[in-house]
Amino acid sequence: MHMHPIRSAKMAVVGCGLMGSALARAFASAGHDVAVWNRTPGKASAVGGGTRAFDSLVEAVSGRELVVVSLSNYAAAAEVLSERGVAAALTGTTLVQLTSGSPADAREGLAWAQAHGVDYLDAAILAYPSFVATEYATVYYAGARGIFDRHVETLQAIAKNSVYVDEKIGAAATLDCAILEAYYGGSLAFLHAAAMCKAEGLDPKALFAQKNSFLGLISVTADAAQDMIEKNGFSGDQCSLNTHVAAIEHIVRLSQDARISARFPKELLDNYKRAVSAGLGDQELPAVFRTLTQD
């Protein structure tokens, strides 16, 4: 669907990797005037979709009200932004840092921007490139609310679901890391689970057919955990940590007997057992949280 923005923004996308290219095309297809730049120039000219490729970064960002950066990491961004003339060309514009990083990276980014008179938002995108501009894309933003409000309409071209998280500049990166941990951890868990099935001669299809069972369990536990963390009370009458530990021991044993990697279930066991050792054995599963807030 072609969207017609109320106002066409003059903007630039710095970095035309898989994500940057998708972002640039989405902005352009929403009607914005999009300059693109990439270290390897061929990728910038390949973006297409009505974007305009520049060989010079200074020329790409000059006179643009909004500059979106999507590079591999903050070290790459720092390198690019320190190129001669770039900081001066960005003065007075808004820089949206869409490169994934840690909260500390975001704080350094803000310090750099403030030192150069650049308005700054730190952002994190929760989407694969093919999700950009669809309902499956979410982008989290942190920084001054006023800067976000000024650009949100333009930014919605990449994700209608543009979420302002907090004024604290590290907030978007924090939330991104938190969601990604649940994603990567959960994904590793079901991949190991599929490996257990296969090793025991059970078609992994049987596991995936039960997807809603384990996702449902996680969902219910997340709700319970939220409540318990808020109240700092973890007792209940559903299932003690002692009982959960016994279940995890079966997972470790299955893995060892079937001669597949037992690393992941052992790490799980280690974490849950630590909570039992801390005297929380008769409390509910989310009590593990109490042992994770220290080193």
List interacting residues with ligand NAP (CB under 6 A): 15-20, 38-40, 43, 70-72, 76, 79-80, 99-100, 125, 128-129
User: Least distance in Å: CB of 176 to ligand NAP?
Assistant: 8
User: Least distance in Å: CB of 122 to ligand NAP?
Assistant: 12
Residue number with CB closer to ligand NAP (40 or 293)? 40
User: Least distance in Å: CB of 216 to ligand NAP?
Assistant: 26
Residue number with CB closer to ligand NAP (38 or 240)? 38
Residue number with CB closer to ligand NAP (124 or 207)? 124
Residue number with CB closer to ligand NAP (102 or 156)? 102
Query: What is the SS3 assignment for 117?
Result: coil
Measured distance CA(136)–CA(7) in Å, rounded: 24
Rounded alpha-carbon distances, angstroms, from residue 185 to 181, 188, 190, 219, 264: 6, 5, 9, 15, 10
Rounded alpha-carbon distances, angstroms, from residue 67 to 20, 58, 122: 12, 12, 12
The letter for the amino acid at 274 is R
Residue closest to ligand NAP (Cβ): 17
User: Least distance in Å: CB of 77 to ligand NAP?
Assistant: 8
3-state DSSP of 200-262? CCCCCHHHHCCHHHHHHHHHHHHHHHHHHHHHCCCCCCCCCHHHHHHHHHHHHHHHHHCCCCC
Instruction: Give one word for 40, left, alpha or beta, with left for phi > 0 and alpha for psi -120 to 50.
Output: beta
User: Least distance in Å: CB of 56 to ligand NAP?
Assistant: 14
Residue number with CB closer to ligand NAP (79 or 227)? 79
User: Least distance in Å: CB of 100 to ligand NAP?
Assistant: 3
The CA-based angle 51-54-58, given to 5 degrees, is 125
Residue number with CB closer to ligand NAP (39 or 150)? 39
User: Least distance in Å: CB of 253 to ligand NAP?
Assistant: 37
Q: How does DSSP classify residue 142?
A: E
Residue number with CB closer to ligand NAP (125 or 268)? 125
User: Least distance in Å: CB of 155 to ligand NAP?
Assistant: 15
Task: Please tell me the chain's helix, strand, coil percentages from 3-state DSSP, rounded to the nearest 5.
Answer: 55, 15, 35
At 67, list the tokens: 């500059």
Residue number with CB closer to ligand NAP (119 or 122)? 122
> Which helix or strand (DSSP H or E) is residue 140 part of?
strand 138-143
Measured distance CA(167)–CA(77) in Å, rounded: 22
